[in-house]
Amino acid sequence: MREIPIGYCSLAVLKEPEGRNKGALILSQVDDVVLRFPFIKDKFYIIERRGWRGLNESEYADIKLVEDLSYWDETVRVHPNSICLDIGPADFVDTTVFRPLNVEKDYDGIQVSHWSDFKRPEMFIRAAGMLPNRRFLKLGHFVEGGSELEYRLRDSCMELAAKLGANIEFPYSNVTSNSQFPNLKETMNYYINRSSVGILTTKIEGINRFKMECLATGIPVLVPEDTSHPTKKHINQETGILFEPSPEGLARAIEDILENLSIYNPRSYIERTTGKQISLRKLKKVLEQLCKRDGVEYRFDNIEWDGRNQSLIWGKRAFEVLKEYK
């Protein structure tokens, strides 16, 4: 059995099992987890949450949330016994929480990401340095919970911003762990609402939750042309711009989108095509198909999930939760 890095495992129990009726379980690292806890296949319909670019690889998932639609045909071909859905976790964005507020737009652009090189924060900072009359907000958190590497990248980015004269505010720049970062949905909605444009510079990614939260609040988003296929999902004439991936290209795109904000209608697009309610309806429909196939009661009308990492149980605690169902 392959050893699973404990921190990588995550889950959300959408519905508890009851008698011969299975529950529903959102799960990452599905095959590794099932090999460790094989009894969960009898207890739950397993929904694979990849949450990243690339192919959904699980052999044991009943339902696959296909984040990267460039792999859709291959996923369907390789896994004919799974039901595939054309949604990822970020498609479950809650539009009742991420919504327009009547607050002043005191920032021209906002970027929210963890401190990692593949997020390319330096591109954002250099672009901001070319636009001294524009005001920006950068909220950075941690993927490793706060490591020396992440601290160094954060500090070097702040030093570069000061050197270039970039007008960027770095709130919470002294925090040392994610527990100190204001990742509550309402807080993030407030910060996004104070901004005119969301800015991504990431090189590799899934659909990206921050992007979807921006669109739900009603602000358009800038996304680099060379990023992963799923990160470009939902970016169109209503929602934002794909920009040439360089500081100069980003600076031009910022000016372009700020001068033409009235032509974008991202919240309307989200409400018509995706978001929590639409994504949950898709998920419930296939759960109903599985229940009919198995001749059991359908019990999933009241399931809830907003796709956020904060709605998942991670690491060692996830293993402990699964053990309780043995």
State the residue for tokens 């989108």. Answer: 257
**What is the structure's pLDDT at 6?**
54
User: pLDDT of 50-61, one tens digit each?
Assistant: 878 788 889 999
**What is the structure's pLDDT at 143?**
80
**Contact predicate 304/280, CB 8 Å:** yes
pTM for the whole structure: 0.94
1 has pLDDT over 50: no
**Contact predicate 194/106, CB 8 Å:** yes
Dist CA 109 CA 234 (whole Å): 19
289 has pLDDT over 60: yes
In order of their start, the domains of the chain are 6-92+275-323 (no CATH), 107-272 (3.40.50.2000)
User: pLDDT of 213-254, one tens digit each?
Assistant: 999 999 999 999 999 999 999 999 999 999 999 999 999 999
Choice between 184 and 28, residue whose per-residue pLDDT is larger: 28
Lowest mean pLDDT among 165-174, 181-190, 295-304, 316-325: 181-190
